[in-house]
Amino acid sequence: MNTTPSPPDVLQTAGNMLECHDFRDRHKPELLELTGVSQHGRATMSGLNDYDYQTLAQLTSGDSHNLQQLRTLTKSGIPNEILEHFKHIKCHCVMGLFPEIGRAWLTIDSDIYIWTYEQARDVAYYDGLSHLIVSVGLVKPRPGVLINDVKYLLLLTTPIEVIVLGVTFDDQNDPQAAVAEANGMHLMNKPLFVLATDNIAINVIQGSDDGRIFLGGRDGCLYEIDYHSESSWFGKRCKKINHSQGLVSYIVPSFLKVFSEVDPIEKIVIDNSRKLLYVLTEKSSIEAWHIGANFTNVRRLGRITQNDIASQAINLIKTVDPSIFKCVKAICPLSREDSNFLHLVAVTQCGVRLYFSTSRLNGQQQQFNYIPDNYNVGQPTNNSMPTMQTESETPKGLFLLHVRLPPGYTPNATTNKPKQVHAAHHSEGTMLMITTQQQEQDLLWSVSSAPFSNFSYLVESTALEGLDGIVWSLAELKDSIVPSVTSMLHNYRTPRRVVLLTNQGTHIVELLKAAHLLQQLLLSCKGPHHESVKMFFQTQTEREACVTALLLATSNQLCGSDIALWATQAFMLYGGEPCFQHYMNASNRNMHNNTMGSTTIVPGRERMPPMYMSTPMPNTGNSGAMGTQYTQPISPISVAQPTQQQQQHQHSALPVADSSLIIYSAKHDGLYLFVSRMLRSVWKLHCVDENLSSRLTSNDCSILLIELRALRNFLEKHSVHDLSASRRMPYDTHLGRSSTVLMNNSQMPMNEHRNLTEQAQIEEKRSLSALNQFIKHACEVMSLWSILNDHQFQLLCQQLSPEHQKMLRCCTFRDLLITRSEVCAFLIIALINLYLKDKADVTEVSDNLRELCPNLYRHEDEVTYKATEILMSVKNCQSAQEKEQKLCTTLQMCLDAAPTLPLHSICQQFISVDFYEGVVELSATCASKMDPEEIGIHYYNNNEPAEDREGYTCFVTRMNYYKEVQLMLDCIYHSLASSRPDQDQSRTIMLNCDSTQDHHDIENRSKQTIKKITNQALRLKDPLMHVTIYEWLLSHDMNSELLELVQPSLGEFLRRSVSRNPENVKLIDLLWKYYEKNGHHSQAAQILDNLAMTRSENISLDVRIDYLVRAVMCMRNETVGSSITNGIFLKELEDKLEIARVQKSVLGAMHPLANSNPEARQAIKELNLALYDITQLYQNFADPFDLWECQLSILNCSNHNDPLLIESVWGNIINSAVDTPGSAHERSIQLFTKIELLVREFGESGPCFPFAFLIRELEIKACQLHLPEGTVPEKLFAMKLDVELLLEYYSRMISMNERIWANEGNEWHLIQSAIRVVTLLADNAQAIWYRSKRRILGKAQDIVAACLNICYQKPDTNRLQHSLKELQCRLQRLLG
């Protein structure tokens, strides 16, 4: 079996075509059109022309085949034990039939005998009455009134009472018990109800399908028995209601009623579908009643007397004896299948049929009820196009609309006229009439239109059969079990059976149909290769004949027989070929419509004459074939308004002009018509009712499946190519279509004609292929529905979600077969879940679904549910070895079924049993099977080029499969996170060592599990699986675990991630760490350098410095080569590091300004945003914000040698320190503290440390601040500056003898400082290096001498002179 699922558009194409054929089939001419009433808008007549009655020989243009439309099935006599009672008859005997239960009955005086008429056995009797039985009736009881054992009610009437008996059967549990002859019938001894007749004899009893009982009395009144299960306060349990007696009759005095005319009721018939009841009286009057839902709604519609009938008929036909219209002997209701608008047919004693309607003939009934074949469904309709009349109108009366004369009144009649008709029965276009030709022998007339059902006017054939006796009753046999959904194909295959009860016994006949006629013809011709078979196809129209042939070819009873083979051959031989019909202009279009059909005139198929003519009309000759007009097929794919997708497909498949239409072959149309009739009963039927109960029973599904599978087998034996292959050239006498096409294409070039023919064949092949897939799909859907019916369908539906339940309630079988495949899916899931919920073995139901629904329940579905079953059992396994074995078995099953499995569902089940390895392996296998050529991997390895759409698709497919691994890791990670206690819980847990230990164990196991899964996944060669793992670790901040991995693919992943997200510092940070860890120090240094230089708010200045430090360390690693390039790069890194540190000092100096200066706050952000060069730092930050120390650092870092600028900066530094508020002492401390710090930083820096300038500036500030003598020397000496330079610079200042000191208020300040310097030198002479000691002391003596020289020149310097001399002596001693 082909397990390729049917695409939705293919199913939709087949569905559209089916609906088109079904629409045309349901709207073909019905009885109202066939009789001409609809066309002429008035009552009509027929039966006077030769073509009104034809023989079956005219179907085959010959009499040699002796086709039969009537066949005797069985004959059986009256049981002998009943015949014995005839000897004791006293005054009255009546016979009749109970077709509902397959039995006949006979009353002899007050006793009744009932027996099965087919085998004349199982005799039941009732002798509990003491009065003569007048009439008998059998009625199905109203539901819920009586106990279930009572299947029927037997009503017996006597002159004084009506007795209602209960009927039971032996096997009450058998659903066929009420009708099967094998079950014995029993009459309850005690009557259920007894009613008085009020001295009015009841002539006839008739029951409706819903259990209502109607009685016809000799007084001409219609009665109804209303019965209930219990008596009520307001009435009895059973009562008789007179519907004919109105309120006026109570007012009229009783003595006046004696003078009124009494017309007893002879017959009652009921049309259950329309709730109509008809009454035939003894004087041939007919009454119509609308019985409604109960007795309160009963109303009489109208009454027509014998004289009125005759008068109206004579007005229609004035050339025949008026007496033939009198004396109506039988009335038969017409069902909706017979006609929507004609409701009753009455038969007179001479065989005239009178057709009545309960609706008045008006302008609306002039409209057509059918759509001719050349009417394109889906195209805009003309307002003048006739529309179909609905039956929503309320019945208004009883109106004669058509008179049909019996056979024998045509000019060339070969049969006698029927006489003495006393009984009749109508069934599916066949009228059976019983006539009395001889005194003791009746004759059966069969007048049937069934063989000529496709004519546009009423054509009938006649058959006669002699009977063995006088017919007392005739009725149609009912099927044993009536399915809730009727199959049209079953009706077409199965002949109607009618039982006739005579005084000799029962005679059962079959009313044969077109399929049986074709069967007889094939047997007579011994195959399809005969002119008669070809003529049968032409006469029946090729499409209908193809349907008839399919009925035989797909029949289970004929399977493998010659008949089935011959029917198939006939289907192929006479089914025609597709073609294109071109409409060149309007005249051609009219010509097409008028000539569509065979150009060969078949006898008996001439043009229909006016239906209202009252005189016989001679044969008009071969003037045309009206009957074939209906046979023209249309294409819903080409003509009906398609969807956009179908239009695109159509345009690509049919590159022809818009004015061309495809004419499908009769084979094609016959197949579609066959399927549309097969599914018509369920097509628009809702799947379930409001209570979620199935609308189809198991028996209904079985009937449909038999038909569907038979057609599927037929299509499998005969492929689409066989059905649509052109094996021969069409010829005129074969198919009427060919001549029309050749005529219209006479001016067309041969090549173009050949191309169009090929395109037509391609289109037909596509349509037949769609039908073939639809049939296979329908078989699976109906098989599934049958399985669901066997599994408590309602309970199963209750397990569905409310949304699915709502969808199911709204779904029709048409939706189920075409568009609602998801409904089948969730019903299957519900069925399997029902088994799993009950822990039952799903193997049997799974195998059943796989066998019957291989596309709805695929192999992967079977594997899924078997895997689910095994995994559920794994949870209860105690043995680790057994658990491991089951898991391996499940995994292998899934691997074999990959990749079409529901991966997510299975992976979740694997996770539930901790089978993590299975998730990784199954995901990888699905990915590799979906992309066996590794196109997705190639796409990734080639840096994912945008123009490679196929590669991108495969890449996405693989990554979607690998998401299951990520979901599994998420599950494990979340379980780990949930096991971690919060702070409050941790304090409690710390009190319990065992709990803490358990927590650590869980955490360790989870980490180990993640590590194990990661290692398993990375062992695979698929880099996309590696990417999946890396992405997951990265998204969960498991950076340390990520860096522990040594796969080369990690570096590629990090590089790509960084290139896609160049601002993602986290990724860049991971990349350099990966390089450093794997020994790629140079690459790590480059990344660190890039990181440090990246302009980002996420990287602070300290981090940037740290990156540069690490970069320098990486470049200084011994594994890095000593190339010139590396050396240059290392020098650049060191320079950047030095400048970065300067920037850090600038940043530190900016912070105190941030509180008061908004610009400083912005500058702080800028300094953290990126690294700047030395010029930018000076110009943008140090200089604008007067950051003197920073300026000094920048000048030092840049080796800038500008003494004036440097001295200016130092002067600003000193001034800023002195200018701060506070006492002189405090400011001095602040000044010297800052100087000490700067000396430590710049004391060895050369140009940036102007020593002489600093000494002079400090001495000036000390003089200004009136600091104690020698403060500056002491501070400078404490800073351990060079003593020799200190003496040198003091010596120079003394020699200059500036006036600045006097100006500052202490003329001797410098002399005092010099004395202090020399004193400090003398105090620490031992610390001076011995080689330079003499030189330094000598310079100190020079300073002392210079000071003395100055003092000698000034007055009041005795104290200074004394100090200098003492110091001079001390130095001398040190030198000595």
Residue by residue, DSSP assigns 58-87 as GGTT-STT---SEEEEEEEE--HHHHGGGG
The answer to whether residue 668 scores a pLDDT higher than 60 is yes
Helical pair 1283-1296 and 1330-1353, crossing angle rounded to 10 deg: 20
CB atoms within 10 A of CB 1124: 7
- Most confident range, picked from 58-67, 387-396, 694-703: 694-703
Determine which of 502-511, 866-875, 1218-1227, 1271-1280 has the lowest per-residue pLDDT on average. Answer: 866-875
Residue 1078 corresponds to which amino acid? Answer: N
Residue 1065 CB-density burial (10 A; 0-12 exposed, 13-18 middle, 19+ buried): middle
One-letter-per-residue 3-state SS of 132-200: CCCEEEEECCCCCCCCCCCCEEEEEECCCEEEEEEEEECCCCCCCCCCCCCCCEEECCCCCEEEECCCC
Binning pLDDT at 50, 70 and 90, where does residue 996 land? Answer: low
Note the helical H segments in 875-915. 880-897, 903-912
Instruction: For residue range 1257-1297, list pLDDT tens digits in order.
Output: 888 888 888 888 888 888 888 888 888 888 888 888 888 87
Counting every residue written for the chain, the total comes to 1376
pLDDT in tens, 276-291: 999 999 999 999 999 9
Using an 8 Å Cβ cutoff, are 123 and 82 in contact? yes
For residue 380, the tally of other CB atoms under 10 A from its CB is: 6
Q: Could you tell me the two tokens for 314?
A: 């004579």
Three-state DSSP at 461 gives: strand
Tokens for 588, please give them.
Answer: 């051609």
Whether the per-residue pLDDT at 1062 is higher than 50: the answer is: yes
Instruction: Decide if 401 contacts 345 (C-beta within 8 A).
Output: no
SS3 475: strand
Is it the case that residue 1153 has pLDDT exceeding 90? no
**pLDDT tens profile 1158-1174:** 888 888 888 888 888 88
pLDDT in tens, 611-622: 333 333 333 333
Enter the tokens of residue 1160: 């400083």
* pLDDT at 352 (0 to 100): 95
In this prediction, residue 633 has a pLDDT band, given cuts at 50, 70 and 90, of very low
CA 568 to chain CA centroid, Å, is 38
Distance CA 922, CA 897 (A): 10
What is the average pLDDT across 808-821? 89
Report how far residue 1168's alpha carbon sits from residue 1180's, in angstroms, rounded to the nearest whole number.
14
- Mean pLDDT lowest among 776-790, 819-833, 1115-1129: 1115-1129
pLDDT of residue 163: 93
Task: Specify whether the CB–CB gap between 409 and 320 falls below 8 A.
Answer: yes
- Residue 444 to residue 761: CA distance in whole angstroms: 50
Structure tokens at 321: 């004896």
Tokens standing for 919?
Answer: 């998730």
pLDDT at 480: 62
Q: What is the DSSP letter of 1178?
A: I
Residues 6+ apart with CB under 8 A from 488: 677, 678, 680, 681
Instruction: State the maximum Cα–Cα separation within the chain, in Å, rounded to a whole number.
Output: 192
Contacts of 635 (CB under 8 A, 6+ apart): 17, 20, 661, 662, 663, 664, 763, 767
CB 863 within 8 A of CB 905: no
Examine the pLDDT at 823 and tell me if it is beyond 70: yes
Check residue 77 and give its pLDDT.
87
Q: Coil, strand, or helix at residue 91?
A: coil
Q: What is the pLDDT of residue 1188?
A: 81
CA distance 657 to 280: 62
Phi/psi at 943 (5° precision): 65, 30
User: How far is the C-alpha of 353 from the C-alpha of 344, rounded, in Å?
Assistant: 10
3-state secondary structure of 1142: helix
Cis omega before residue 899 (within 30°)?
A: yes
In the prediction, which pLDDT does 153 show?
93
Whole-model pTM: value is: 0.68
CA 397 to CA 360: how far, in whole Å? 7
Give start and end residues of each alpha helix (H) in 1155-1173: 1158-1169
Residue 707 burial class via C-beta count within 10 angstroms: exposed 0-12, middle 13-18, buried 19 and up: buried
Quick one: pLDDT band at residue 582, thresholds 50, 70, 90?
A: low
Residue 347 binned pLDDT confidence (cut-offs 50, 70, 90) = very high
Higher pLDDT, 724 or 543: 543
192 against 1334, higher pLDDT: 192
Measured in whole angstroms, how far is the alpha carbon of residue 40 from the centre of its chain?
Answer: 50
| Cβ atoms of residues 860 and 900 within 8 Å | yes
What the block records as the tokens of 521 is: 């013809």
CB of 643 closer than 8 Å to CB of 818: no
Cα distances from 702 to residues 487, 561, 782, 785, in angstroms, run 11, 23, 9, 10
CA atoms of 1211 and 52, how far apart (whole Å): 136
For the chain, the average pLDDT equals 80
